[in-house]
Amino acid sequence: MIELPKYQVLNLEHSGNLQKKRSHQEINKQMHEKKIWLDELHEGSRYGLEGKIIVKKKSSFQEIIVLETKAHGRALMLDGCWMTSDKEEKYYHECLVHPALSSLHEISNILIIGGGDGGTARECLKYKSVANIDLVEIDNEIVTISKHYLQQISMGAWNDKRLKVHFSDGFEWVKNINDNYYDVVLIDCSDPSQFSSGLFSKSFYKECQRIIRKDGIFATQSESPESFQNIHINIIKSLRETFKRVETMYSFVPFYPSGIWSWTFASDNVKSFLKEVNIEINSIEKSCDIWNLNYQSGAFKMMPNKIYKILSENKK
């Protein structure tokens, strides 16, 4: 049995009547033994996994839960929304990282905003040419918990000297960076909330454009065209108003609301955008479980027609 860290919150609603005087050991045992269903509730639907809670903690920003499941391995939920799981994380992380990184001949300097589970950093670190990654995560508890409990996602990324972790607000970070500083900026954030909504704003995208080198690439998770349609549309519109070229790819993260998800890529260099030119592309393809160039070329053609129509109407 894994020892709970000191900061474990002990009053689980799913654990029945916990007596104040119970020993930490007893409570520990009960949390690990009790199987529950944990659901993300979204507009009258529920997306649930069955398992045992091994971490439940309220950080300064959000409630963090790690669920140990049989079918999905470990799964991370923040403020009632699924973020990632051992089983499904590659559908998300490979699709955020490789369309961007495979489009540049060589990449050295990367900014990741969010990404506290380490999955995005892990995919970036596969590229030998990468010399520096600044990972800017607002909530240090996510990284602490990921290091302890989500090692199958980070796969040693935290020990790689090229990765520098900074606990800071992503928007504040970009404001303080020099022009043309990064080759690639990747936004691996949660759904818009009180503390993350700035990462979906046009002013944030403008700052990102300023700190990316002229032919560099910006990439962001861009929510679901089905379950978060308005946010999805706004992301694409705002990016189109900022960068010269913007493309969205669609794929699946089965336990996110509606299952269909998207990632949007933007650049001011229209000529070399999404051109599959990276010198390490063959070995990267071999290392992936989901992404490859074929998968990507289909995924960039999958914009649902209703989204296409809304975006075309807005152009007029």
- What does the binding site for ligand SPD look like in residue numbers (CB under 6 A)? 81, 83-84, 92, 115, 117, 119-120, 188, 190-191, 221, 256
Query: Rounded to whole angstroms, how far apart are CA atoms 216 and 218?
Result: 7
Under 8 Å CB-to-CB from 216, ≥6 apart: which residues?
Answer: 104, 180, 182, 183, 184, 185, 267, 269
Our CB check for ligand SPD shows the closer of 31 and 77 to be: 77
Q: How far is the CB of 190 from ligand SPD (least distance, A)?
A: 5
Query: Rounded to whole angstroms, how far apart are CA atoms 59 and 147?
Result: 16
Our CB check for ligand SPD shows the closer of 68 and 188 to be: 188
Our CB check for ligand SPD shows the closer of 121 and 130 to be: 121
- The answer to whether the CB of 63 falls within 8 A of the CB of 78 is yes
Q: How far is the CB of 256 from ligand SPD (least distance, A)?
A: 5
- The answer to whether the CB of 86 falls within 8 A of the CB of 74 is yes
Q: Which residues pair with 28 in a beta bridge?
A: none
Q: How far is the CB of 71 from ligand SPD (least distance, A)?
A: 19
Is residue 188 among the annotated active site residues? yes
Q: How far is the CB of 188 from ligand SPD (least distance, A)?
A: 5
Tally of CB atoms within 10 A around 105: 11
Tally of CB atoms within 10 A around 179: 10
DSSP state of 60: S
Our CB check for ligand SPD shows the closer of 81 and 155 to be: 81
Query: Rounded to whole angstroms, how far apart are CA atoms 224 and 207?
Result: 24
- Catalytic pick from 183, 188, 191, 215? 188
Q: What are the residue numbers of the active site?
A: 188
